[in-house]
Structure formats: structure tokens, C-alpha cells
Chain A
Amino acid sequence: MTGLKRCAAVSSWLLLGGAVLAHQGTAALAAAEYARLGWLFGTRFDLVAVTFVLATALIGLGVSARVAARASTGSVELRRLIRSGRRPCPAAVREAAAAVGLDGRVDVADSGEAFAVTYGLFRPRVVVGAGLAGVLSPAELSAVLAHERCHLRHRDPLRLLAARLLAGYAFWLPVTGWLADRLALRLELAADADAAERCGRGALAGALLKLGDTQPCPAMAGASRRGSLEARVAQLEGGKPARPRLARAKLAASACNLAVLLAAGTCCVGLSQALPGGVL
């Protein structure tokens, strides 16, 4: 990723964070106006604008709360299952973990499935399925753990969650979902580049081939993930990975919704200034 593109990506997230804070501030004003005026707004437009700002903020908070609840339940459940499992860490996994600098940070889940996941927000850990060592060669196992080490070092689960919380709050801006997907792919590509550098492209490709090419569980398979694998393979080949494209309809809907919300927010602020003695 060039410096300019990285700068644009960081600016987008900062802008989105600022927009969310501004929306929250306006929603607080709207709530205070409701408390002061009840339903006795001067015009119907004022009533609609204030209600709209307040409703979008409340729904946004609800969506974010749901994302946060799912993330924390997932982490807690996974930790509980790891603790209740009694599978010893296979020697191959222990050796590969020590080789890539993950000593003591890898758990084994009581599952025959071959998988590797980084979980936990502030003190992330890696968990692998007990079946992983049986499927991969030692070099491939090291490549998988090197990939997960990159996620762990950069606290990627926390970054992904922050992006999804923002995207959840700003559900009325469909462009935020696209930004979150782009970030997820960028983190995967960075972890792949790191793992390929340490363990070789061949080992990483072998691991992707063996772990990706299984009969999908219907609840887990998704078209976007297939696109992400395509981009990761392109990067391994030395080409330019295709990033998720922003559909024009999403861009147009985001611009339209933003304009409506800006108008409603301006009305809220104007109303608070017009009230004698202020709104608070």
C-alpha cells in the first residue's frame, strides 16, 4: 500500500470517528430539546429533524452494542471451550510456535477441525484446532502461525472490532461497511506478506490450499471471503491484489443520507440556539 493510500485510509477512519462524535453531540442536543419542549416544537420540520437525529443515534448505538455483545460473547465462549478442553498441545504446534516467537501464546481447541484464529482484544492469543498439525507440514504450520503472529502483534481483533463498531453505528452510511471490508482485507494481506517473508510463499500457499479447500459449513461460507482469497493469492504471485470495489449505489446512498442528516443536525443546532436561555 502506497503512503498516499494509507494516508487516505487513515483519514477516512478519522473522518468517520469525527462524524460519529458529531452525531452523538447533536443527538444529545436533540434529547435535551425533547426534554425542554416535549412535543411542542415550533414547526413540524423541527419535530421531524430532532426525532430523526435522535432515532438514528439510538439505532446506531443499538447496532454497535449488538456487534460488541457478539464479539465479547465469542471471545468468552472460545476461552471457556479452551479451558474446558483437555487436549495437550501437539509437539509440532509447540515447536512451530516457539520458532515464530509465539511461545506460550498458542492454545489448542478440542476440535478435530484444522483452523487457526487470533482472538482476544487487549491480550490477544492464538487458538488452533487439534486437527491442524495432522493436516499441515511443519513448514506450512510455521507459515500459519507466523500469519497469526502478525495479527497478534498488531492487535488486529481489536482493530477489526473498532472498525465494525464504527460501521455498525454509522449504518446509515453504507460506505462504512465497504471501509471495514477493505480494512479486513488489508490486515490479511499484511499478515500474509509477513508470513511469506519469514516462512516462504510456497509454505503459505500450501497452508491456504489445504485449509481453504474444504467443504464449507453453510453458515461460514461467503462470497466476499472467496474474493479475499483471490486477492491473497494474487499478492503471493507478486501481482496487485484486487480490493473490494465500492458500488456506486452505496456511494450515492451514503451521500444522500449524509446530506439529510446534516440538514437535520443543522436544524437541531439552530433550534438549540434559538431557544431562550439555551437548551441545557
Chain B
Amino acid sequence: MAEQGRQHRRERRDEHGGAPGPLGSLEAEVMGVLWRSNGAVSVRQAAAALNAGRDAPLAYTTVMTVMSRLARKGILSRSRAGRTFVYTPVAADAADIAVRGVLAEFGDAALARFVERVELDPQLHQRLRRLMEQRR
């Protein structure tokens, strides 16, 4: 009962792109498939790998939802390959996910981080590059 409640709270938080905390069981299975494969994987390929040897196969949409959620949490990166999306793991293993999770969830609490990850706009990028080329 308590485990169900925790799972429900985790799913609700995940819907809003929460921090990469501990993975759910299906998320862990999906990550296992992506870590074993070399390179980017589409939802269809991941679903096929997950359903191999499974009595009750997972629906394509279920796998797609899980993979989108992992991408929102920053654990997978998503890119377009032709008419479909492919996913690549950003985190190398479960320990990496745990560290990223702590930084994302508590980073603003009592940590002084060198720089937060942001997408630099081209102007800021150019200014930093100019500074970088200076000796001092």
C-alpha cells in the first residue's frame, strides 16, 4: 500500500518533468535495454527488445510514455532520425542517475555549483569564446 502510494507520487511528479530520482521498475528495464544497445534506439526497437520472452507484451504507447518521461527527466536525450524519434542514454549507469538526481533535486538547497546547465544564447556563447581566446 505504502509502495503504491510512493509509486503514485513519483508518477505524478514525473508528469511534470521532475528530477531523475530512483527509477521505477519499467524505467529500469527500459534503461537496461538502452545501455545494452550501442547507439540510438527508437521506441519500436526498445519495445521489441522489452517484449522478447515476456508473457504479456507491453504496448507501444506504454514504452513511448516511459521513454518520453525519461527524456523529460534528462536521463535520455531525444533526437529526430527521419520520421521517427530515437533516444540515447545521457546517464552512464544507475549510480550516474542517482548523482544527477541528487544534484537536480537538492542543487538549490545547500550546494554552491560552479555553473548551472543552461542553453547559452549565441550572443553569450560568442562573448565567452572571445574571453576564452584572451590570455588573461
Q: Which residues of A contact B81 (CB under 8 A)?
A: none
Q: Mark A190-228, 1 if CB is under 8 A from B, else 0.
A: 010000000011100111110111111111111001101
CA distance in complex: A218, B78 (Å): 13
Q: Which residues of B contact A103 (CB under 8 A)?
A: none
Q: Which residues of A contact B90 (CB under 8 A)?
A: 215
Q: Is A266 engaged at the interface, CB distance under 8 Å to the other chain?
A: no
CA distance in complex: A55, B125 (Å): 48
Given A113-B99, A219-B17, A160-B118 contact (CB < 8 Å) = no
Q: Mark A106-137, 1 if CB is under 8 A from B, else 0.
A: 00011111011111010000000100000000
Which one of A38-46, A67-75, A93-101 is at the B interface? Answer: A67-75
Q: Mark A49-71, 1 if CB is under 8 A from B, else 0.
A: 00000000000000000010011
Q: Mark B100-111, 1 if CB is under 8 A from A, else 0.
A: 101111110111
CA distance in complex: A214, B118 (Å): 6
Q: Which residues of A contact B131 (CB under 8 A)?
A: 201-202, 205, 233, 236-237
Q: Is A265 engaged at the interface, CB distance under 8 Å to the other chain?
A: no
Q: How far is the CB of B42 from chain A (nearest CB, A)?
A: 19
Q: Which residues of A contact B73 (CB under 8 A)?
A: 217-219
Q: Which residues of B contact A262 (CB under 8 A)?
A: none
Question: When the two chains form their complex, are residues B114 and A117 in contact, meaning their CB atoms are under 8 A apart?
Answer: yes
Question: When the two chains form their complex, are residues B95 and A237 in contact, meaning their CB atoms are under 8 A apart?
Answer: no
Q: How large is the interface on A (under 10, 10 to 19, 20 to 34, 35 or more residues)?
A: 35 or more
Q: Which residues of A contact B106 (CB under 8 A)?
A: 70-71, 73-75, 77-78
Q: Is A147 engaged at the interface, CB distance under 8 Å to the other chain?
A: yes
Q: Is B1 engaged at the interface, CB distance under 8 Å to the other chain?
A: no
Q: Looking across the interface, which residue of chain A has its beta carbon closest to that of B118?
A: A226
CA distance in complex: A119, B111 (Å): 5
Q: Mark A140-174, 1 if CB is under 8 A from B, else 0.
A: 00001001100100001110110010000000000
Q: Is B129 engaged at the interface, CB distance under 8 Å to the other chain?
A: yes
Q: Looking across the interface, which residue of chain B has its beta carbon closest to that of A158?
A: B110
Which of B93, B105, B110, B129 gathers most chain A CB within 10 Å? B110
CA distance in complex: A113, B120 (Å): 18
Question: When the two chains form their complex, are residues A115 and B114 in contact, meaning their CB atoms are under 8 A apart?
Answer: yes
Starting from the known contacts A78-B103, A202-B134, A218-B72, 19 additional A-B residue pairs (CB-CB under 8 Å) come to A72-B110, A78-B102, A112-B91, A113-B103, A115-B113, A116-B113, A117-B107, A160-B110, A202-B132, A212-B117, A212-B118, A213-B125, A217-B100, A219-B17, A219-B19, A220-B117, A226-B118, A230-B124, A237-B127
Please give the residue numbers on chain A whose beta carbons come within 8 Å of chain B beta carbons, in ascending order.
67, 70-75, 77-78, 81, 84-85, 109-113, 115-119, 121, 129, 144, 147-148, 151, 156-158, 160-161, 164, 187-188, 191, 200-202, 205-209, 211-222, 225-226, 228-230, 233, 236-237
